[in-house]
Amino acid sequence: MDRNLLDQLIPLCDPTALPRVLGRPDALRRGYTPDAIKHRLATKRWQRILPRTYLTTDTLTWPDQLSAALTFAGEQAVLSGAAALADTGLRSVRRPSSVLVLVPREVTARSHGWVRIRRTNRLPVRRLAPGPARAPDARAVADLALELSELDDVRALVAEVVRRGRCDTAELTDELTSGPRRGSAHFRQALAEIGVGAWSAPEARAATLLRRAHVPTFEQNAVIDLPGGRRFVADFLWRRLRAVLEIDSVEHHVAPADLDATMARHLLLETLGYSVIHPSPAVIRRTPGVFVREVSTWLAARSEAMSA
């Protein structure tokens, strides 16, 4: 291919181009005098978005915010918590209103506005990925879990990252053990629940309720072999009783397009002699006593039917 045509199709990156976010030390190194910086701010060619941190374009985007937070915090800073996990494909994490940044203990930078600076003796090595410096997933999950006030939100977060292979329970346990104990109760419980088989927040809640009620021992996410070499993974299985409990949740577990397939599996399992029930996450959350009683009654009836 002609070299000139290639250069047109793939423009070369100019290493001297002015970045969208610029720290004051970098601006001075580039030859901007204090008066020149002051003039650009006064004429609104630049915007001061944080102390000693400037936006050199018109619109502040989310990536600009992350870059600005790191620029403000210093060269060794890394993003953590929701800021490190947002926009990485996790359904359980949304962009936060404030950005958590980890820095070494000796750094003197302090939180300002929407940037929260946390000094730590355990500064993680940044994740090997393009973009802004982010803490590894396990550390980011642990930091976010400590901030979430609802147990189900922590359950959903931990279940999703483990289910998707973003990190494993051993890595999360290391973070739990090494991190602060204060505020870690939800993280500790969620990790224990996911560690014994829960794949979603509703599953974790249901499993905890059933164990506390001492219902017959069950398997979680248990494989059932189907005719033709197919396999089905049951949320809860009482294998001897041929009893299956499925928690079908559009929010936490299945997409709307999967509902028809779920009903087809239900019919197939019933045809093969299994009894299948589908309690909703709302029932489990709002009326846990009713949920436990109904499951206990169902299992007792199933035991009688199998013994007849």
Do 69 and 181 reside in the same domain of the chain?
yes
The domain of 28 spans: 14-58
Domain endpoint, select from 195, 221, 249: 195
Gyration radius from the chain CA atoms: 26
Confidence (pLDDT) at 70: 97
Task: Say yes or no: 149 and 42 in one domain.
Answer: no
Q: Is residue 2 part of a domain?
A: no
Q: Are residues 142 and 164 in the same domain?
A: yes
8 occurs within a structural domain: no
Query: What CATH code is carried by the domain that includes residue 231?
Result: 3.40.960.10
Domain match, 146 and 169 both: yes
Rounded to whole angstroms, how far apart are CA atoms 65 and 229? 51
| pLDDT at site 8 | 44
115 & 81 share domain: yes
Among residues 154, 176, 195, the one where a domain terminates is 195
Tell me: do 176 and 210 sit in the same domain.
Answer: no
pLDDT confidence band for 20 (50 / 70 / 90): very high
Structure tokens at 53: 């941190």
Q: Tell whether 287 is covered by a domain.
A: yes
Domain-embedded: residue 136: yes
For residue 102, tell me if it sits in a domain.
yes
Do residues 303 and 208 share a domain? Answer: yes
Does position 182 have pLDDT exceeding 70, yes or no? yes
What's residue 12's pLDDT? 47
Residue 125, SS3 per DSSP: coil
Same-domain pairing of 31 and 75? no
Q: Which residues of 223-255 are buried (b: 16+ CB within 10 A; e: fewer)?
A: ebeeeeeeebebbbbbeebbbbbbbbbeebbbe
Q: Say if residue 41 is in the same domain as residue 166.
A: no
Task: Supply the pLDDT for residue 14.
Answer: 54
* pLDDT given for residue 295 in this prediction: 96
The tokens describing 19, both together, are: 């970045």
| Average pLDDT of every residue of the chain | 89
Could you report the per-residue pLDDT of 221-266, keeping only the tens digit for each? Answer: 899 998 888 888 899 999 999 999 998 765 444 445 556 677 788 8
* Mean pLDDT (whole number) for 43-69: 96
Q: What is the predicted pLDDT for the residue at 106?
A: 93
In the chain the beta strands, taken as DSSP E runs, fall at 21-23, 47-50, 53-55, 78-80, 99-104, 115-120, 219-225, 231-238, 243-245, 275-277
User: Are 82 and 184 in the same domain?
Assistant: yes
Domain boundary among 195, 214, 249: 195
Q: Are residues 219 and 185 in the same domain?
A: no
Number of structural domains the chain divides into: 3
* Residue 5 predicted with pLDDT over 50: no
- 75 and 190 housed in the same domain: yes
